[in-house]
Structure 1
């Protein structure tokens, strides 16, 4: 057990080519987990294993990442679910914090596990988690944004409901790059409905609407918090968050008004923080409005190359950049 740390200590056995989980766990979910100490703590990376459950229903198992030794980690796992008289197995992403489980996402389709081994993988980069189960006949994939555990930790396996588990070919890899996209997805595993999210102060609305119209005429799809995007009765914060998630580039429109608006800072700030963590799936690019000066640029954006909306040559180059990306 030199390289493996189980919790509870008697619930796992580490053999040279096999991990076995057995006996009772702890807490409401009768859970236990084991992590590989040899790679050290990992912030961004991937853990994978071939996992076999001794029973195909009524039990659960999966993988963990960013784990400490005191029951805080992110997990991708299968679990039983009963709906009326129907019993199914589901795949979930959840967060354990000091032993308390919060479910973050669940795959809408049922997971069918036949007897034998199935390949589980869990990729984690910045706040994005993606889990995958490969069976002989099907591939199940679940992805979610999980900012709950932002610090590095160990990776390994979890079992639930006292499940008997066999795991072989367990591997932990660290990476400094976003994980590879699945074949049908776009940048960093995502496709985007919009090319640009225009983040601006209310006082600059008329000028920004002209920029949006120029973008749209050149084939650049824009999200702008106008009457077309936010309808009467909509929850404004939910619509804005959905727009950010659906946009490839976030463009803070710099003016003397921008820094006075805390709301706009919240919009581009979340994306900027993800960039600082190494997640380049969305990128912030400052756009200088008419009359904007160097001192109007927010401090955290001053290191970025910006585009000027009033310099026609430069702005055409910027439009070509957006179209090509």
Structure 2
């Protein structure tokens, strides 16, 4: 099977350009899944595939993310349902935890599938999961907060009720930034006082002030623990909390000094904990300072795409991203 791990192993066949699922599965739902080991474990990203069900109506099949090898994963899938005497197909987001299925969300409108291939996609960032099915002229979309599986895992396909499935064009992508559009007026950060919160070790203050100056010159509002934000007599912890709450992005400035600063870990750690719990209203993005190495990046930030201050082309791209959001 090379890079594919099926469970149960007899339920899938991996060909060079095609995956086929066949026969029964495990448990109440006759479930079976297969994950792609080649990209490695993914914390935030997207999996897509063209999926065809061989039955005449909507038996269950779809995509999985953050899967381990012991029946724990998040899934976006179709499933049959009966409304009166009519058999239809529903789209759902669910969580398998050691094989036990919990339905998190279901699309209210039925999904109409033909006998051909349909484009399935599953995007996952922190606790936000968005599934989409494109079939002919129709597009079905379902989104939910799913904080149940916050750890990295593999991505692949799932089938239910012993469904026969053909899948081609399976791709797995990583991302460090949400796929969603920028926040609107209805979001709790839509009127944020600051675009970014600069989190750094005091030894790196000079370079961080250069970053702040570059942000200011481009109209990006920032919070920095300087005399501009903290005055004599202010409660420092209260001011930092206010800055975090009022910022859209938190930028841990990575250096060898940052690792030794427990206070700064608490600053970005609070945002990471919120992300892992499904709250993506504030996002942590690492910024590599001059001389920083990959080994200086804290473990919980290593899966995120980072910006390099020393790489002027990359940093310019990062500033444009902040401006657009």
TM-score (structure 1 length as normaliser):
0.60
Give the distance between the partners of 2:2 and 2:33, measured in 1 at CA.
16
- 1:146 is matched with 146
Q: 1:9 to 1:125 in 2, by over 3 A?
A: same
- 1:107 is matched with 107
Q: 1:131 to 1:276 in 2, by over 3 A?
A: closer
Give the distance between the partners of 1:92 and 1:275, measured in 2 at CA.
22
Quick one: which of 192, 196, 212 aligns to 2:186?
192
Alpha-carbon RMSD: 2.8
Q: 1:280 to 1:94 in 2, by over 3 A?
A: closer
Query: Over residues 26-55 of structure 1, what are the superposed CA-to-partner deviations in whole Å (9 max), with x where a residue is unaligned?
Result: 100001000000011100010000000001
- 1:7 is matched with 7
Match status 1:79 vs 2:55: no
Query: Over residues 255-309 of structure 1, what are the superposed CA-to-partner deviations in whole Å (9 max), with x where a residue is unaligned?
Result: xxxxxxxxxxxxxx9867335889753479xxxxxxxxxxxxxxxxxxxxxxxxx
Give the distance between the partners of 2:124 and 2:152, measured in 1 at CA.
11
- 1:24 is displaced (CA, Å) by 0.6
Q: 1:39 to 1:250 in 2, by over 3 A?
A: same
Q: 1:86 to 1:39 in 2, by over 3 A?
A: same
Give the distance between the partners of 1:191 and 1:57, measured in 2 at CA.
41
Q: Residue 178 of structure 1 contacts residue 279 of structure 1 at CA under 8 Å; is this kept in 2? A: no
| Stretches of structure 2 lacking an aligned partner (at least 5 in a row) | 194-243, 248-268, 285-323
Give the distance between the partners of 1:8 and 1:134, measured in 2 at CA.
28
Listed as ranges, the matches of 1:53-132 within 5 Å are 53-132=53-132
Match status 1:273 vs 2:264: no
Q: Residue 64 of structure 1 contacts residue 157 of structure 1 at CA under 8 Å; is this kept in 2? A: yes
Query: Over residues 60-87 of structure 1, what are the superposed CA-to-partner deviations in whole Å (9 max), with x where a residue is unaligned?
Result: 1000000000100000000001122121
Q: 1:125 to 1:191 in 2, by over 3 A?
A: farther
Q: 1:271 to 1:134 in 2, by over 3 A?
A: same
| Stretches of structure 1 lacking an aligned partner (at least 5 in a row) | 199-248, 253-268, 285-323
Q: Residue 127 of structure 1 contacts residue 274 of structure 1 at CA under 8 Å; is this kept in 2? A: no
Give the distance between the partners of 2:270 and 2:148, measured in 1 at CA.
14
Give the distance between the partners of 1:197 and 1:85, measured in 2 at CA.
51
Partner secondary structure for residue 274 of structure 2: helix
- 1:114 is displaced (CA, Å) by 1.1
Q: 1:197 to 1:173 in 2, by over 3 A?
A: closer
Listed as ranges, the matches of 1:1-325 within 5 Å are 1-181=1-181, 186-187=182-183, 192=186, 195=190, 250-251=245-246, 273-275=273-275, 281-282=281-282
Give the distance between the partners of 1:270 and 1:100, measured in 2 at CA.
30
- 1:58 is displaced (CA, Å) by 4.6
- 1:217 is matched with none
- 1:191 is displaced (CA, Å) by 6.5
